[in-house]
Amino acid sequence: MAKLFQGTYTAIITPFTPSNEIDWEAFEKIVEQQIAAGITGLVFVGTTGESPTLTHDEHQEILRWSVNVVKKRCQVIHGTGSNNTRETIEFAEVAAESGADGQLVINPYYNKPTQEGLYRHFSAVAHATDLPIIIYNIKGRTAVNLETETLLRLLEHKNIVGVKEASGDLAQIMEVIQQTPEDFCVLSGDDALTLPIMACGGDGVISVVSNCVPAGFRNCVQNCLDENFGAGKQQFYNLLSLMRLTMAETNPIPIKSIMHQLGYCSPQVRLPLCEPTASTQKAIAEALGSIRQMELS
């Protein structure tokens, strides 16, 4: 059985107007730029999309709008996770009804469930809809790690088809790749670890940096999928300093500032996030020329 998700997926930003409303015109411009660059898929309403500060209605509106604007020109994955299982199921139902290709469900944050709690949470979502699920394992934002043993238990649910791994633990990620079925998708959730994860058998990335260099990172990932690691490695190292820049402050502050400087949207983020420091803004300004060149090369 073929893997459902393999390649480069952009965790797309949610652009806001200076008055803090969703900027639908800028949003569509960004989506069109991604599709034109040949991106494998787009992830809407993830952390990079500032999901914690979206209202419930905004969240659902983006889920429905995204499928209509993409029109099946690339895969669409919806961020449906929260730390409230009932709310996650509600978003999952909207994602399924709207026609998304999959959903990204994060470890519940702040309430720190046990491994049994994680198992029951993801099981409840899997029972509620047939829409394929990619689990998002990121201890740094959720204070809890999904252990490999728990993930393997969850594979009894046929619609749990992959994991976005941002644990930062390469030994654990290798263990997941080794012990899961061949059709299970392991995607990097950390741009800077994409190369080693793919060298160990990973399937691609859900990326922040591909907001501004979709073609460049897509080419890198495709070379790795084709086991052309010589070319992939060179392309990866060309992007590494930019990856670090996008994480110089809390995501998505830097990437939104970069996209603003490239002319795609306002740099507006919602509180409690705020504008980048002067030093980060200076580093972004100095990097713009190379960012543009990366997409042309």
Active site residues: 136, 164
Cis peptide before 272 (omega within 30 of 0): yes
How far is 70 from 53, CA to CA, in rounded Å?
Answer: 24
Q: Token digits for 31?
A: 């989506």
Which of 62, 189, 100, 178 shows the shortest CA–CA distance to 136? Answer: 189
> What does each C-alpha distance from 155 to 85, 95, 123, 163, 203 come to in angstroms?
19, 21, 10, 11, 18
Q: Torsion angle, CA of 255/256/258/263, rounded to 10 degrees?
A: 150
Return the ∠ at Cα 166 (arms to 290 and 164), rounded to 5°.
Answer: 100
**How many Å apart are CA 177 and CA 186, to the nearest integer?**
7
Contact by Cβ (8 Å): 46, 79: yes
